[in-house]
Amino acid sequence: MELTIERLSKRYKQQWALHQLSLRLSPGMLGLVGPNGAGKTSLMRMIATLLEPTEGTIRWNGQDIRTHGQAFRQVLGYLPQDFGVYPEFTGRQFLRYLAAMKGHPSKLLKQRVDEVVEMVNLEQEADHKLPTYSGGMKQRIGIAQALLNDPELLIVDEPTAGLDPAERVRFRTLLASLTHNRIIILSTHIISDVEAAASRLLLLQEGRILTDATPSALLARAAGSVWSVTVDQAAALQLQTTYQVSAMVNQMSGVTLRIVSAIRPHGAAILVDPTLEEAYLMATGRQAAQV
Ligand SMILES: Nc1ncnc2c1ncn2[C@@H]1O[C@H](COP(=O)(O)OP(=O)(O)OP(=O)(O)O)[C@@H](O)[C@H]1O
């Protein structure tokens, strides 16, 4: 099970959304992280065969996905960013409909739909109409439809956008439970979404790979660059204008700031262990400093 991407580029008119990206993926979760416009959706749509690359190739187990499109789509599951549901259906009816559309053998269809409903934990709500679902439940239906063919490659584009914190945690746990024996590509600009489950993080910026590392390697790179200091309001404001502040807590004794900086930002600042989000800020900040 291997996805190989070679020198993949996408240009929209004059603008390069993705530039000469090369990547080799094996089972596990890849967290695709980057700000809006970094090229995440373009990359995912090209892998899902929904968008034609301007240059480059994508191979699944050595075969070009453009020439083996039909066979490739059988191992592919995709949840797009703008997944829409049909309001007249219940969750279960909707999944049966999609399974039939995807050519699922009718003898096994009901059983498979029941299985995916169970996998995403929607047994209680599966016979309720879709408009009554919360954002998180709709996204779980989205994952359920992507799992209908038990895909070896699962692509999920910004699944937690618009979910409340409890739904996000639940969705993260669900995705983490699906990593066994398949490749998952999950895009997000919220790094905590992939913190627990991703074995690899790809930071994209302006269509290029900024960093390709395991979460622990990314954390190790940020060690020695995250500080904590408690100061008064005026000093806190001053520090905020000069440094990258990753967290700020008001306390009786003053304002405690966490600061991402290669140099000690204040005489009283002490080094603290970085979070993955801070490691990400460090990686993207370093790039900004180079430009
Ligand atoms: N159909 C299109 N026509 C023109 N430009 C596009 C089109 N789709 C994307 N772009 C541009 O390509 C760049 C990459 O967009 P893309 O949607 O791939 O990024 P993204 O990282 O997924 O961002 P977001 O999180 O906002 O979806 C952006 O500058 C975007 O404006």
Q: pLDDT value at position 286?
A: 54
User: CA-CA distance, 109 to 99, in Å (whole number)?
Assistant: 7
Residues with CB under 6 A from ligand 1: 12, 15, 17, 34, 36-42
Q: pLDDT value at position 291?
A: 30
Ligand 1 pocket test, pick from 10, 15, 32, 188 with the greatest ligand atom count within 8 Å of Cβ, gives: 15
Residues 6+ apart with CB under 8 A from 1: 26, 27, 61, 152, 153, 181, 182, 183
pLDDT tens digits along 70-83: 889 899 999 998 88
In this prediction the pTM is 0.90
For CA atoms 118, 124, 130, 131, the dihedral sign is negative
**Domains of the chain (ranges, CATH numbers):** 3-214 (3.40.50.300), 220-290 (no CATH)
Can you give the C-alpha Rg of the chain in angstroms?
Answer: 22
How far is C-alpha 246 from the chain's CA centre? 21
SS3 for 122?
A: coil
Q: Are 204 and 210 in contact (CB under 8 A)?
A: yes
Q: Are 274 and 282 in contact (CB under 8 A)?
A: yes
Residues 6+ apart with CB under 8 A from 55: 7, 8, 9, 20
E-only strand ranges, 110-179: 153-157
ipTM reported for the complex, 2 dp: 0.95
Q: pLDDT value at position 276?
A: 93
pLDDT tens digits along 101-152: 888 877 789 999 999 999 888 999 999 999 999 888 998 999 999 999 999 9
User: CA-CA distance, 46 to 173, in Å (whole number)?
Assistant: 27
Q: pLDDT value at position 177?
A: 87
SS3 for 23?
A: strand
Query: Other C-beta atoms within 10 Å of 239: how many?
Result: 21
In sequence order, the β-bridge partners of residue 23 are 5
User: How far, in Å, is the centroid of ligand 1 from the Cα of 49?
Assistant: 16
SS3 for 57?
A: strand
Q: Are 203 and 280 in contact (CB under 8 A)?
A: yes
Terminal Cα distance for the chain, rounded: 38
Q: pLDDT value at position 28?
A: 94
In sequence order, the β-bridge partners of residue 133 are none
pLDDT tens digits along 221-237: 999 999 999 999 999 99
User: How far, in Å, is the centroid of ligand 1 from the Cα of 260?
Assistant: 29
Two tokens at 84? 């829409």
Residues 6+ apart with CB under 8 A from 130: 85, 86, 87, 89, 90, 91, 94, 138, 141
User: How far, in Å, is the centroid of ligand 1 from the Cα of 37?
Assistant: 5
pLDDT 10s per residue in the chain (291 long)? 999 999 999 999 989 999 999 999 999 999 999 988 999 999 999 999 999 999 999 999 999 999 888 889 899 999 998 888 888 899 999 999 999 988 887 778 999 999 999 988 899 999 999 999 988 899 899 999 999 999 999 999 988 877 888 888 888 888 888 888 899 999 988 888 888 889 999 999 999 999 999 999 999 999 999 999 999 999 999 999 999 999 999 988 899 999 999 999 999 999 999 999 999 999 887 544 333
User: How far, in Å, is the centroid of ligand 1 from the Cα of 12?
Assistant: 9
